[in-house]
Structure 1
Amino acid sequence: MTFSGSYAPDDVTLLLQVVDMAPTPVAEKEQLIQSGKLHYSELIAPEAAPTDPYMAIYQAALAENVPLMAQSVVALAKGIAEQIAGEITLVSLARAGLPVGVLLKRALTQLGRNCHHYGISIIRDRGLDHVAMRHILANHASESVVFIDGWTGKGAIAGELADAAPACGIAAPRMATLGDIGGFAWMAPSDTDWLIPSGILGGVVSGLVSRTVLTDRIKESGGYHGCTTLPHLADHDISRAFVDTITAQFDWTTPACDPLDDATRTQRRAKVTQTISTLSDRHSISNLNRIKPSLAEATRAVLRRRPHMVYVASDTAPDTAPLMHLIRERDLPYKVAPEMIPGYRAVTIIQKTS
């Protein structure tokens, strides 16, 4: 059984199985993950409705960034259309990739291209959902596939995709994102850490589905990776409104973006590697999963993890306003230190529990 979450069925087909999983309190979840007792994919944190003040900040961020996001989607769609002949199969990585994939599917359809869009799971250290990929490749040519994510932070998911995709039938996976600070994507219109509006919300902008999960029970079922649905957030859901708002602002004068060349990729990766190394040395971090770089990742970490420190490039700039609201609301430690996080506007360091 497939479904589309709270998106329109024409926008996406989610190759996920809905499971019943009780949320684990954040402190307990953190201890279980860091102790190695459970993998993060075996747990779900509670997801509360965004507060009215936070949504007001989100709406301001959306109004400010709608033109850039619409232009970025069109640039990506045109670039993908130039690189792929025939049908195009978008495979969004749930859940951050879902809003972007929906928008790209709409843009490519408006360009007159035959485009299909699926949402599937990829899990760090566990790989791509091979059952979902088997379904996709039974119906579409491997050369038509482009993986979609919202952004790249320090390249963890891009690395996972590169490692896992060949076993699923994609020898050289192509990943397109809106932002690619570290040179990890195949194609991206920007290398700056800009405020992607959908990146600072969770399920209410991603079809009312949770982060994907993979428990022993799910593995034994032989089906797709799992997710939970979020009916308690239905009154706050803006998934369709968000993509409708961006779609209405598509600017078809925007030029196509090109795939990244090796020199650009090397230059970007060197900058990111240095930033991560500096932070890991400063905080004596051996597990780099505790470092969550980029505005989107830093914000999401504050929402569902236990932060030790948040670094921001500015505590007064509009693009850090949503994150600073959460920091002040939760009385979290932070430092304004742009020199510590070159290339990024924010980085969250997860608290060590063991």
Structure 2
Amino acid sequence: MNFLVEVLNIVMPSGQTKEFLQKGLFIPEPKPIGSYSPDDVIFLLKDIGGLIEEQDNEERERLVQNGCHYSEMLPIEYRPNTEYIELFYQSLKETSVRIAHAVGLVAMTLLKDPYKKIVLVSLARAGTPAGILIKRYIKLVSGINLPHYSISIIRDKGIDENALLYILRKHPECKLQFIDGWTGKGVIAGELRASLKAFREKYAIEINSSLAVLADPGYCAAIFGTREDFLIPSACLNATVSGLVSRTVFRKDLIGDTDFHGAKFYAEMADEDLSNYFIDAVSGSFALVREAVSKTLEYNQSAVLDNFPSFRGLRDIERIKEEYGIGNINYIKPGVGETTRVLLRRVPWKVLVKDAANPDLKHIFLLAEERGVSVECCPDMSYSCCGLVKTVVDKK
């Protein structure tokens, strides 16, 4: 504790140091949750499985569009049919090398950081598999076993402050590197910047908001494996490819002052769990991409770094908003990953696709058919596809 006080006094005034310590020291150790090995990731989440009841998509959508925050509810987890699961396996087989290459580019870029004491901080839940893969690649090529946590960030409510306090308490001299799976409009990238600004103002602790992702079709991330909008098969499923953990929840009646944000652990779905299968399948391709990763970074460092992301995808979003008469930009979900989420856990209205022959969209067409959602061609998009949420707000 004395060492921690000494370190923190370097970076913040004494009054804020006291506030940090008083709160940080009362945050308990995390309890095990999820199906990943703790060697791969530690979830800083509170298991609220017995405290919250899931709701169907239609009920949740109506509540959200009438003012209830999405993070106060959980959807019923999608249970895919045999055809869809087979499509997951096929997609993983076809894309594992491509994903491994993106992982390698991000991992090796992080290793070039002169500040060697790095903690990987994945944004639950899509960021968790990406973070595990990056951690594994770094360990493979360098022998360095970086700490890796998965924490919650929620649109309009911010990042889990208690999780940050816990990590800083455990690793007071380390740099935090935030990781997500992909970008859409860049909402989470913006939320991350705003959250860390508020954290700095509260505790006088500067945390870099740099975000690393495997796929950045929205041009929102500083570090990326690719800016192609391609399928990362972990987007195809929900909990069963994310450590059997739900998306995160923040509700004051469930989350106490020193609790982490909440999530449900679906232990009963263990027989369906493909989380570690996905990780092992992509990790198995690392040896195939190491040379290509090294050559890419040797000849074109700008291929993975962008200190001033342009958020170029927002231009497409604004055009779609106008063309389709959509009142709320949050009802437009661009990119393969976000479109999949619309079809799995929202009430979809339409799906727009750039190229109907794109093999990355096979699961999109299957889900759209299953849910009776129309698919329209929109060749001028920079994204491969875009999901539009149906307006179900109650009329007054």
Counterpart-to-counterpart distance in 2, 1:114 and 1:57: 33
Amino acid at match of 1:152: T
**Aligned counterpart in structure 2 of residue 328 of structure 1, from 347, 351, 369:** 369
Match of 2:382?
Answer: 343
CA distance in 2, matches of 1:4, 1:84: 33
* Post-superposition offset of 1:84: 4.3
| SS of alignment partner, residue 350 of structure 2 | strand
In the alignment, the residues of structure 2 paired with residue 241 and residue 148 of structure 1 have an alpha-carbon distance, to the nearest angstrom, of 21
In the superposition, relative to structure 1, how do residues 224 and 87 fare at CA in structure 2: closer, same or farther (>3 Å)?
Answer: same
2:238 corresponds to: 202
1:234, CA displacement in angstroms? 1.6
- SS of the aligned residue for 1:296 comes to helix
Give 1 or 2 for the bigger CA radius of gyration. 2
Q: Is the 8 A contact 1:84 1:144 kept in 2?
A: no
Distance 1:141-1:166 versus aligned 2 partners, 3 A rule: farther
Report the CA distance between 1:242 and its aligned residue.
0.8
SS of alignment partner, residue 357 of structure 2: coil
1:261 aligned residue:
306
| Corresponding residue of 2:285 | 249
Q: The residue matched to 1:218 in structure 2 has which SS?
A: coil
- Identify which of 233, 247, 264 aligns with 1:228: 264
Map of 2:319 onto structure 1: 278
Matches within 5 A, 1:91-106: 91-106=121-136
1:285, 1:125 → 2: CA distance? 20
Cα deviation, residue 260, structure 1: 2.9
Note the C-alpha offset of 1:174. Answer: 1.3
**Whole-Å Cα distance in 1 between the matches of residues 317 and 173 of structure 2?**
34
What SS is found at the alignment partner of 1:150? strand
Amino acid at match of 2:251: T
Please state how far the C-alpha of 1:316 moved relative to its aligned partner: 3.2
Note if contact 1:192-1:343 (Cα within 8 Å) is conserved in structure 2: no
Q: Structure 1 stretch 148-157 or stretch 134-143: which is displaced more?
A: 134-143
Residue 99 of structure 2, aligned match among 66, 69, 72: 69
Give CA deviations for 1:128-164 in whole Å, capped at 9, x if unaligned. Answer: 0000000001122465210010001000000000100
Query: For each residue in 1:82-120, what CA deviation from the matched residue of structure 2 results, as whole angstroms up to 9, or x when unmatched?
Result: 014322200000000000111111111122224000000
SS in 1 for 2:77: coil
**Which amino acid in the other structure matches residue 248 of structure 1?**
G
* 1:236-287 residue CA offsets vs partner (Å, 9 max, x unmatched): 1011111011111102211245563356x23xx23x1220011111222232
CA RMSD of aligned residues (A): 1.6
SS of the equivalent of 1:119 reads: strand
Is 1:155 matched up with 2:186? yes
Q: 1:3, 1:14 within 8 Å by CA — same for their partners in 2?
A: yes
Shift in CA distance, 148/118, structure 1 to aligned 2, threshold 3 Å:
same
What's the TM-score, normalizing by structure 1?
0.94
User: In structure 2, how many angstroms separate the alpha carbons of the residues matched to 1:238 and 1:212?
Assistant: 20
CA distance in 1, matches of 2:186, 2:238: 20
Shift of 1:52: 0.7
Alignment of 1:14-163 (within 5 A): 14-19=43-48, 20=50, 21-36=52-67, 38-110=68-140, 111-141=142-172, 144-163=175-194
Question: Could you list the per-position Cα deviations for residues 296-350 of structure 1 after superposition, in whole angstroms to 9, with x for gaps in the alignment?
Answer: 10011101110111101233321110010111122111102222xx211110110
Deviation at 1:68, TM superposition (A): 0.6
Matched to 2:194, the amino acid is D
More displaced 10-residue stretch of structure 1: 72-81 or 180-189: 180-189
Distance 1:48 1:198 in 2: 14
In structure 2, what is the equivalent of residue 185 of structure 1? 221
Looking at structure 2, the residues matched to 13 and 84 of structure 1 have their Cα atoms a distance apart, in angstroms, of 25
Out of 302, 306, 312, which is 2:343 matched to? 302
Q: Which residue does 1:288 correspond to in 2?
A: 329
User: Residue by residue, what CA displacement relative to the aligned partner does 1:30-87 show, whole Å, maximum 9, x if unpaired?
Assistant: 0100010x20000101003221100111111111101011111111110000014322
- Matched residue SS, 2:111: helix
Q: Which amino acid aligns with 2:350?
A: M
Tell me the distance in 2 between the aligned counterparts of 1:108 and 1:175.
17
C-alpha contact 2:215 2:230 (8 A) present in aligned 1: yes
How far apart, CA to CA, are the structure 1 residues paired with 2:335 and 2:53? 29
Amino acid at match of 1:325: L
After superposition, the Cα gap between the structure-2 partners of 1:142 and 1:202, relative to the gap in structure 1 and judged at 3 Å, is farther
- More deviation, 212-221/15-24: 212-221
The 2-side partners of 1:122 and 1:65 are apart by: 28
Is 2:214 the partner of 1:173? no
Alpha-carbon distance in 2 for matches of 1:42, 1:170: 29
Where structure 2 has 5 or more consecutive residues not aligned to the other structure, the ranges are 1-29, 200-204
| Matched-pair contact (CA < 8 Å) for 1:158–1:184 | yes
State whether structure 2 residue 195 is matched by structure 1 residue 164.
yes
Structure 1 contact 292–349 (Cα < 8 Å) conserved? yes
Q: Quickly say closer, same or farther: Cα 1:141–1:185, change in 2 above 3 A.
A: farther
